[in-house]
Amino acid sequence: MATVAIANVEFKRGYHRYLRNALFLAIIIHFLMFYFSPPFEFKPYVLREETFQAVELPESFEIPPPPKEIAQPAVPIEAAAGEEVDEEADIAPTSFDKISDVPPPPPPPSEKAQEFYAFDEPPVLIKYVPPKYPDLARTAGIEGIVLLRVVVGEDGKVVSVSVIQSDVTPAMERAAMEAARKFLFKPAKQRTVPVKAAVAVPIRFSLH
């Protein structure tokens, strides 16, 4: 018992010394951490943007001049009953040569450039509907991939579908687009708000 009592007395005598040394050591560690830590740099928040190649529209359209007026062919006038007709009268020949001078119609206007959608979280497919394999393509053994551009609304439903690239028949493209319209997505988000977004979805046709 005497040994335990002496140890307690020695511990109490050195308590303040231990506390002071621990405090100095903590101060030194914190100073070194602040001194050698890299400076904090504030970076502004930047939204991720989905990139699609836009179609460049011409700044001005050239309007062709109006076609030249074409002379109408002479219309014969029926003689009144009892009126004498001069059989030797000259009748102007009817010609349609000037019709070839009509300029060709103007080219159709370019397609509208695709819209851009900004979002932080892309849409996630949660319901997939497989496409119906066309009978003729199945019989012919045709396989391939259709890459679709699917626009997803704020509610996760498909708004529109278009073909980006394809190596299959038009019937298979239509089957892929019809199936994609039945997809269901978890909508994209910009921060915490659901937003409209466009994603590229590959549809594979395989017989194996």
Q: Is residue 13 part of a domain?
A: yes
Digit-by-digit pLDDT tens for the chain (208 residues) are 556 566 666 666 666 777 788 888 888 887 777 777 776 666 676 666 665 554 454 555 455 666 666 666 555 566 555 556 555 555 555 554 544 555 565 555 444 456 778 888 999 999 999 999 999 999 999 999 999 999 999 999 999 999 999 999 999 999 999 999 999 999 999 989 999 999 999 999 998 8
Q: Is residue 24 part of a domain?
A: yes
Q: Is residue 18 part of a domain?
A: yes
For residue 53, give the nearest of 110, 112, 114, 109 by alpha carbon: 114
pTM (global) more than 0.85: no
Q: Is residue 110 part of a domain?
A: no
For residue 160, give the nearest of 96, 115, 126 by alpha carbon: 115
Q: Is residue 153 part of a domain?
A: yes
How many domains are there within the chain? 2
- Determine the Cα–Cα distance for residues 195 and 49; give it in Å rounded to an integer: 12
β-partners of residue 194 are: 189
Domain that holds residue 188: 124-205
Contacts of 146 (CB under 8 A, 6+ apart): 163, 165, 166, 168, 172, 173, 176, 177, 202, 203, 205
Which segments within the chain are labelled E, that is strand? 124-127, 144-152, 158-166, 184-186, 188-190, 193-195, 197-205
Beta carbons within 10 angstroms of residue 148's beta carbon: 23
Q: Is residue 59 part of a domain?
A: no
The CATH number covering residue 164 comes to: 3.30.2420.10
